[in-house]
Structure 1
Amino acid sequence: VLRFMGRLDIPVYCGAETPLVCDYVSAQDTHGEDGLGESRIPAVQETAWHTGAVDFILHTLRTTPDLTIVAIGPLTNLAWALRKDKSAFQNLNRLVSMGGNYKSYGNCSPVAEYNYWCDPDAANEVFQNLGSPIHMIGLDVTRQIVLTPNILEYMHILNPQVAEFVRKITRFYFDFHWKQEGIIGCVINDPLAVAYMVNPDFCHGFDAYTAIETAGLCKGQSVVDAKNFWNRKPNSHVLTQTDPIAFMTMFLSRICGKEPDQIQKVLPQIMVGGRES
């Protein structure tokens, strides 16, 4: 992806290879063996891979005031960083975490979202110990953001090269959604988390105390105390509503390099259930 975008100057740091406690289970059934939908795009050789993601996180926290972290995978590296030096997180403004679910069903079990299910112990440690707001971009909002064949066809008009790259890396993901959820298209979870970091008006929700179940039948479930039964101080901001038209306008504008005004006029015509922002 970095090579395609011409940004091989961005360093990549390798983190934990396994969850804190449980065995690692990959998402190859969702994203393919290569993580890019069996697109078989050649691996990058032109950039150096750095070790020590945990040390990088801690160094950045110590040297960057008012930092926002966007986590789009399991929270293992953050849990290790907290164990190593919790004081470094004093500079953290907020954590935006793509993970969890409130009222929406799970995507790897009846009740759990994959990122928290993959390493529930890490997720729970971060929720209990971070000390800064965790903005949970869960399946309740990401399931409202669907990349459909209509949108992909429109992308071919906006930027054929980008559209073809996206088509290659989502083809396997499209098939998964049809077989698993009966959706024509695919939910694009991670871009919404990044967009929310840039503009928090994209999503709305409420503050609540959240815990992550670490084992058993409900492993990985994010238990949101929306009614304050436990009388605990909120440790999360749970997002439940988003504006698909506003998000997709920004998303397509950024990746296709086009003005948002043009895109915003077209999207309501091709997005099922879309509304003007």
Structure 2
Amino acid sequence: MKRKVIIDCDPGIDDSLALMLALSSLEIKVLGITIVCGNAPLQLGFANAKKVLRHMNRLDVPIYLGADKPLQKPFCDALDTHGSDGLGESYLEEVAGYEQNIDAVSFLCETLTKEACSIIALGPLTNLAHLIQQNAAAFANIEQLVSMGGSYKAHGNCSPVAEYNYW
């Protein structure tokens, strides 16, 4: 049986490649994608996720918009690394439409209230922080949480001591 997952991400180059891998995996079923501001501003991350889904012929996977700013610090994107389009200056054609009726945190609450599933968090954890604030019981129903962030025996990529997603 495939593990059910929700991917919470800020689609720049790295998250877009991870989405492609996840969508190709025979071991997991992607229930939805939630977008958070991070490598790219929220709307650009949303546009990039749609481009990845079209490329993978998976426009059946829903995308939900989440936090457009961090909880504590002013928003600072990483487009200096990921290019002005967030995808390394690929300038792939835009994908129209795809708006959902609910936001990312509402989708997380609804899904996790119905069933346990795993979260793969590839960007800043702001959407998950909002989930804890709004519905701790739903957050507790996360089967497994996998987060991409941090550094070991190396300098951070956002400051001398901080990696971007955890900064």
Would you say same fold, with TM above 0.5?
yes
- 1:21 is aligned to 72
> Equivalents in 1 of 2:152, 2:111: separation in Å?
31
2:158 match: secondary structure: coil
Q: CA deviation at 1:38?
A: 1.1
Matches within 5 A, 1:225-244: none
Matches within 5 A, 1:156-195: none
Matched, 1:93 2:143: yes
Tell me whether 71-80 or 88-97 shows the greater mean CA deviation.
88-97
- 1:53 is aligned to 104
Matched, 1:5 2:56: yes
> Equivalents in 2 of 1:6, 1:82: separation in Å?
33
> Equivalents in 2 of 1:19, 1:81: separation in Å?
14
> Equivalents in 2 of 1:34, 1:115: separation in Å?
19
- 1:103 is aligned to 153
- 1:44 is aligned to 95
Displaced runs of 4 or more, over 3 A: none
Q: CA deviation at 1:90?
A: 2.6
Structure 2: which amino acid aligns with 1:13? Answer: Y
Q: CA deviation at 1:34?
A: 1.1
More helix by share: 1
Q: CA RMSD in A?
A: 1.2
TM-score in terms of structure 2 length: 0.65
Structure 2, unmatched stretches of 5+, are 1-51
Percentage identity across paired residues of the two chains: 54
Deviations 1:33-80 (A, max 9, x none): 2111111111111x4122400111111111112x21000010000000
TM-score in terms of structure 1 length: 0.40
Matches within 5 A, 1:104-183: 104-117=154-167
Structure 1, unmatched stretches of 5+, are 118-277
> Equivalents in 1 of 2:157, 2:140: separation in Å?
33
Matched, 1:31 2:57: no
1:59 match: secondary structure: helix
> Equivalents in 2 of 1:86, 1:102: separation in Å?
30
1:13 match: secondary structure: strand
Q: How many residues are aligned here? A: 115
Deviations 1:82-133 (A, max 9, x none): 000101123212210001123222112111111111xxxxxxxxxxxxxxxx
- Structure number with larger C-alpha Rg: 1
